[in-house]
Amino acid sequence: MDGPIRKVTPYVFYGQTTSLCESCYALVPAKIIIEDGNVFYLKRCKTHGVQKALVSTDPTYYKLCHDYLKPGDRPLQVQTRTELGCPYDCGLCPDHEQHSCLALIDVNEACNLTCPVCFADSSTAKTSHRSLAEIERMMDALVASEGEPDLLQLSGGEPTIHPKILDIIAAAKRRPIRHIMLNTNGIRIAQEPEFVKALAAFKPGIEVYLQFDSLRPEALKTLRGADLTRIRRQALEALEKEPISTTLVVVVKHGVNDDELGEIIDYALQWKCVRGVTFQPIQDAGRNENFDARRDRVVLSDIRRKIIEAGTAFGEGDIIPLPCNPESIAIGYALRKGSQIAPITSFFPKEMLVEALPNAITFEKFPDLHKQVMAFFSLATSECRHPEKLNALLCCLPEIPVPEGMGYENVFRIAIVEFMDAHNFCLGRVKRSCIHFVTSNGQIIPFETYNLFYRDAAAQQRMAISKGGKV
Ligand code: SF4
Ligand code: SF4
The phi-psi region of residue 102 (left if phi > 0; otherwise alpha if psi is between -120 and 50; otherwise beta) is beta
- Ligand 2 atom at minimal distance to the Cα of residue 123: 5
Does residue 246 have its Cβ closer than 6 Å to ligand 2?
A: no
Whether the link from the prior residue into 157 is cis, omega within 30° of 0, is: yes
Nearest ligand (C-alpha, residue 435):
1
Judged by DSSP in three states, 334 sits in: strand
Over 80: is that where the pLDDT of 370 sits?
no
Q: Got the DSSP string for 180-204?
A: EEEEE-SHHHHH-HHHHHHHHTT-S
User: Are the C-beta atoms of residues 421 and 452 closer than 8 Å to each other?
Assistant: yes
Cα 361 to its chain centre, rounded Å, is 25
CATH number of 102-417: 3.20.20.70
pLDDT tens across 397-444, in order?
Answer: 556 666 666 677 788 999 999 999 999 999 999 999 999 999 999 999
Q: Pick the residue whose CA is nearest to atom 6 on ligand 2.
A: 118
Handedness of CA 188, 191, 196, 198 (dihedral sign): negative
**pLDDT > 90 fraction of the chain, expressed in percent and rounded:** 79
Does residue 187 have its Cβ closer than 6 Å to ligand 2?
A: no
How far separated are the first and last CA of the chain, in Å rounded?
52
Does residue 112 have its Cβ closer than 6 Å to ligand 2?
A: no
Ligand 2 centroid to 36 CA: how many Å?
A: 37
How much is the pLDDT for 395? 55
Ligand 2 centroid to 157 CA: how many Å?
A: 6
Reported pTM? 0.94
Q: Got the DSSP string for 128-192?
A: -B--HHHHHHHHHHHHHHHSS-SEEEEESS-GGGSTTHHHHHHHHHTTT-SEEEEEE-SHHHHH-
How much is the pLDDT for 389? 47
Ligand 1 centroid to 184 CA: how many Å?
A: 28
Ligand 2 pocket mutation, candidates 153, 162, 184, 185, criterion most atoms within 8 A of CB: 185
- pLDDT interval class at 109 (50, 70, 90): very high
Q: Pick the residue whose CA is nearest to atom 6 on ligand 1.
A: 86
Judged by DSSP in three states, 372 sits in: helix
pLDDT tens across 307-344, in order?
Answer: 999 999 999 999 999 988 999 999 998 889 899 999 98
Ligand 1 site residues (CB inside 6 A) read: 86-87, 89-93, 95-96, 430-431, 446, 449
Q: So where are the chain's domains?
A: 12-71+421-466, 102-417
How far apart are alpha carbons 456 and 467 in whole angstroms? 17
